[in-house]
């Protein structure tokens, strides 16, 4: 299922829901190529994109603190 999104729902009194996106889904939201995102998940990247690995599958936790901090660093130009 290409571009599938899994969502974990939590009660409203806890943290907001986190969606697990594949590279295509995150790429669509950020207007970035999925290949760029996957290349930048590697440990050799200067500031790797935070991800969750399920064997060969890579997912990105949309709404997570780690991804939001990475986006803020990239938006500010810091690495």
Q: Give domain limits for the chain.
A: 19-76
Q: What is the pLDDT of residues 2-33, one digit of tens each?
A: 566 666 565 556 666 899 999 999 999 999 99
Q: What is the pLDDT of residues 32-55, one digit of tens each?
A: 999 999 999 999 999 999 999 999
pTM reported for the whole predicted model: 0.76
For residue 63, CA distances in Å to 19, 28, 29, 46, 55 come to 7, 15, 12, 22, 22
């Amino acid at each position: 299922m290409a571009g599938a999104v899994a969502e974990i729902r939590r009660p409203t009194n806890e943290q907001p829901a986190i969606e697990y996106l594949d590279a295509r889904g995150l790429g669509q939201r950020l207007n970035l190529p999925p290949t760029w995102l996957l290349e930048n998940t590697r440990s050799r990247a200067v500031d790797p994109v935070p991800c969750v690995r399920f064997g060969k599958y890579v997912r990105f936790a949309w709404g997570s603190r780690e991804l939001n901090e990475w986006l803020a660093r990239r938006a500010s130009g810091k690495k």
